[in-house]
Structure 1
Amino acid sequence: MNITIIAGARPNFMKIAPIIEAIEKKIRLGFDLHYRLVHTGQHYDNNLSDTFFKELDIPFPDINLNVKSGTQAEQTAAIMIEFEKELEQNTCDLVLVVGDVTSTMACTIVAKKEGIKVAHVEAGIRSGDMTMPEEINRIVTDSLTDLFFTTSIHANENLKRLGIPDNQIFFVGNVMIDTLLKHSSRLNPPKIWKELNLQKRKYFVLTLHRPSNVDEEEQFVTLLNLITSLTKDFHIIFPAHPRTRKILETLNFNFKNLHFISPLGYLEFNYLVKNALGVLTDSGGITEEATVMNVPCITLRDTTERPETCAIGTNILVGNNPEKIDEAFKTLFSGHWKQGQIPELWDGQSAERIVNHLIEIFKLK
């Protein structure tokens, strides 16, 4: 059986790493499994791409489609054109996509038009917010997918409401947590740790990249002003996405406790998260990692596609509502943040379950 695995952007790398490891284990046991790793090049900054392959022990891609940036339509079209060529030259039995980035949707469309089955890892998650490009990617991908590998019961229920048969849905847990647990002992401090003499639970980590938070300059500065005023002069470390960095460079501000740094590798970033007093983010994946590391997480969004991080994890939603943000900081500094629990099957074995299901479904020996 030949599987083509798609990686396009930073969140994908953490998800494909344990899947590839699980496949390689089965290959060593003699199973008729082969894979080809396709990097679309959707993220092309070295810190967002190549570094992850080295840190997470992922084999370098068999091909990089080098699509790089562009508008949503330009990037989607470029990925589809290049991936169609890839499939014509390298046929496969299954295309495996992960997450909800543009590459996920674009490669799914191409695969189905070529008559190839698609497996979607992290299927079924929904925020209900159609202003998010990722939500559109999820809906399109799941409308075409053949095999749905899910992270939660919530995702299962979303798929069932769409009429997806039970025998196509596989609750396997969270592959991103497989990666976190595997590498937890290897986390290491970035340069900023020594430069600012950071101490455990004495600083915050901030990430922002959603258009609703960063595209409108006045809103962006207002949000940063609010956050810096509520953090009691604690350092705030902000690894800025390249897109966000461009916006920051056009703004005139001076926040003495807010430190913009270049994007970090996986091991350094999660070291910062693990030892922070709290995380402020508009990213979905970071809420999952914070929950497993039991770090308070304030999500600057009104909706989440990962409700389990709020229901039983360490995450709360505040949007950009000043009152909710203020209340969150009061709770955090008072020491009364909720005690989170780890969601079901987020145990480091998700990728193994996926590969075992594939072996059973395709009757591999």
Structure 2
Amino acid sequence: MKPLKIINVVGARPNFMKMAPLIEAMNHYPDAIHPILVHTGQHYDEKMSQSFFVDLGMPRPDIDLGVGSGSHAEQTARIMVAFEKVCLDHQPDLVIVVGDVNSTMACTITAKKLGIRVAHVEAGLRSRDMLMPEEINRLCTDVLCDYLFTTDYIADRNLLAEGVDAQKIFFVGNVMIDTLMKHRQMASQLDLREKLGLTPQGYATLTLHRPANVDDRDALKGILEAVHEISQTMPVIFPIHPRTKKMVESFGLEGFFNTSDTVAGVWITEPLGYLEFLHLNMGARLVLTDSGGLQEETTVLGVPCITMRPNTERPITCEEGTNTLVGHHKEAILAAAQRILHGDTATGQIPEKWDGRAAERIVDVLLRVESGAN
């Protein structure tokens, strides 16, 4: 039987962390799977994307669509037009998409309209917030896909409640955690903390990029006020997202960041590579974020996480992990931080199947079910 031709799509920074273990697992079966890696170019900054190929040991993309930035409609349309040509040229048996970015939805729609089967890795996550573009992407993707690979029982329950055929759902665990476990030792050996003069448990890290938090001046100001107050107790390391940097400057909020030689304060850095940021988070006293993936990583690392959003598509991290959902109001952020700094933190546990083997399970499923589909 000829090898399965599988197009694997990445588009934005979190996608690379999810795709890396899948590519590695596929490469264990060179006679059975022919993987093709497509990078849509949705994230095109070196630190936001390209450096991840080096950090994660991923092969360079076979195809780079180079779509760049734009409105959601512009970006989605450019991806669909470019990806249709890829599918017509390569005639894949299957397309694999990961996560919830525009590339995920755009490539799913394109492939399905061409009659190509699609698998979604990280299916079934729901925030119930239709103001989030990612929620729209998740819903559109999951309703179309042939294989839905889930990270936890809550995702399974969401899909079943939406009427998805149970035979399409496969609970495999979390590929993001596969990547973390593979690189944890390597990250621990970096000397970035020493270079920055940081001591383990003596600092916090911050990520901030969601439009609801950074495009509204009042929301952004409240968050930065809270972070600034926390930073008087310990330094807060902030690898600033290009979008956030632009909005901070636009709103004239640069004054919240450290500009002196004092130890305390919010320390701005350029976006960090995967290993560098994992290294910092492993030693942090707490993590402040509006990201999705960091909620999962901190749960496995056992590091307290304050998620500055009103909802999360990863509630398992609150139910079983170390994550606390607080919204974006200054008082709530500070109250959560004070509890953590005074030792009132959830012990947490690692969710089922977050064991570093999710990618293996996915490839096992595909080899079994796709052999019958061809």
**TM-score category (smaller protein):** over 0.9
Cα distance between partner residues in 2 of 1:287 and 1:308: 9
1:6 aligns with 2:6: no
1:199 aligns with 2:193: no
Question: Residue type of the partner of 1:171?
Answer: F
Question: Residue type of the partner of 2:18?
Answer: K
Tell me if the contact between 1:97 and 1:104 (Cα under 8 Å) persists in the aligned partners: yes
Question: Residue type of the partner of 1:308?
Answer: I
Cα distance between partner residues in 1 of 2:334 and 2:245: 26
Tell me if the contact between 2:192 and 2:276 (Cα under 8 Å) persists in the aligned partners: no
Q: In the TM superposition, what is the alpha-carbon distance from 1:107 to its structure 2 partner? A: 0.2
1:261 aligns with 2:289: no
The residue number in structure 2 matching 1:85 is 85
1:277 aligns with 2:285: yes
The residue number in structure 2 matching 1:305 is 313
Q: What aligned pairs does 1:24-103 form with structure 2 within 5 A after superposition? A: 24-27=27-30, 30=31, 32-103=32-103
Q: Matched residue of 1:348: which SS?
A: coil
Runs of at least 4 residues of structure 1 off by over 6 A? 189-192
Q: Matched residue of 1:51: which SS?
A: helix
Tell me if the contact between 1:190 and 1:269 (Cα under 8 Å) persists in the aligned partners: no
1:237 aligns with 2:237: yes
Q: In the TM superposition, what is the alpha-carbon distance from 1:189 to its structure 2 partner? A: 7.6
Structure 1 residues 201-226: Cα deviation after superposition (integer angstroms, max 9, x where no partner): 11110001111111012321222012
Cα distance between partner residues in 1 of 2:70 and 2:150: 30
Q: Matched residue of 1:303: which SS?
A: coil
Question: Residue type of the partner of 1:228?
Answer: H
1:361 aligns with 2:366: no
Q: Describe the shift of the 1:79–1:190 C-alpha distance in structure 2 as closer, same or farther (beyond 3 A).
A: farther
Cα distance between partner residues in 1 of 2:39 and 2:254: 37
1:320 aligns with 2:328: yes
Tell me if the contact between 2:306 and 2:325 (Cα under 8 Å) persists in the aligned partners: yes
Cα distance between partner residues in 2 of 1:203 and 1:192: 13
Tell me if the contact between 1:231 and 1:329 (Cα under 8 Å) persists in the aligned partners: no
Identical residues among aligned pairs (%): 52
Cα distance between partner residues in 2 of 1:252 and 1:205: 19
Q: What aligned pairs does 1:174-193 form with structure 2 within 5 A after superposition? A: 174-187=174-187, 193=193
Moved more, 218-227 or 178-187: 218-227
Cα distance between partner residues in 2 of 1:54 and 1:329: 34
Moved more, 304-313 or 320-329: 320-329
Question: Residue type of the partner of 2:185?
Answer: S
Q: In the TM superposition, what is the alpha-carbon distance from 1:248 to its structure 2 partner? A: 2.1
The residue number in structure 1 matching 2:152 is 152
Cα distance between partner residues in 2 of 1:360 and 1:8: 28
Cα distance between partner residues in 1 of 2:234 and 2:73: 41
Q: What aligned pairs does 1:129-148 form with structure 2 within 5 A after superposition? A: 129-148=129-148
Tell me if the contact between 2:8 and 2:95 (Cα under 8 Å) persists in the aligned partners: yes
Q: In the TM superposition, what is the alpha-carbon distance from 1:363 to its structure 2 partner? A: 2.2
Q: In the TM superposition, what is the alpha-carbon distance from 1:192 to its structure 2 partner? A: 6.2
Question: Residue type of the partner of 1:20?
Answer: I
Tell me if the contact between 2:222 and 2:329 (Cα under 8 Å) persists in the aligned partners: no
Which segments of 5 or more consecutive residues in structure 2 lack a partner in the other structure? 259-264
| Count of residues in correspondence between the two structures | 362
The residue number in structure 2 matching 1:248 is 248
Structure 1 residues 65-86: Cα deviation after superposition (integer angstroms, max 9, x where no partner): 0000000000000100100111
RMSD of aligned Cα (Å): 1.5
Q: In the TM superposition, what is the alpha-carbon distance from 1:175 to its structure 2 partner? A: 0.3
Cα distance between partner residues in 2 of 1:184 and 1:208: 23
Q: In the TM superposition, what is the alpha-carbon distance from 1:321 to its structure 2 partner? A: 2.8
TM-score, normalised to structure 1, is: 0.96
Tell me if the contact between 2:221 and 2:253 (Cα under 8 Å) persists in the aligned partners: no
TM-score, normalised to structure 2, is: 0.94
Q: Matched residue of 2:212: which SS?
A: helix
Q: Describe the shift of the 1:189–1:102 C-alpha distance in structure 2 as closer, same or farther (beyond 3 A).
A: farther
Q: Matched residue of 1:180: which SS?
A: helix
The residue number in structure 1 matching 2:262 is none
Tell me if the contact between 2:202 and 2:285 (Cα under 8 Å) persists in the aligned partners: yes
Q: Matched residue of 2:254: which SS?
A: coil
Structure 1 residues 146-170: Cα deviation after superposition (integer angstroms, max 9, x where no partner): 1000001000001001111111100
1:347 aligns with 2:348: no
Tell me if the contact between 2:204 and 2:236 (Cα under 8 Å) persists in the aligned partners: yes
Question: Residue type of the partner of 1:17?
Answer: A
Q: Matched residue of 2:119: which SS?
A: strand
Cα distance between partner residues in 2 of 1:245 and 1:139: 30
Tell me if the contact between 1:308 and 1:343 (Cα under 8 Å) persists in the aligned partners: yes
Cα distance between partner residues in 2 of 1:192 and 1:363: 47
Q: Matched residue of 2:123: which SS?
A: coil
Structure 1 residues 210-243: Cα deviation after superposition (integer angstroms, max 9, x where no partner): 1111101232122201221134431111111111
Question: Residue type of the partner of 1:119?
Answer: A
Question: Residue type of the partner of 1:110?
Answer: T
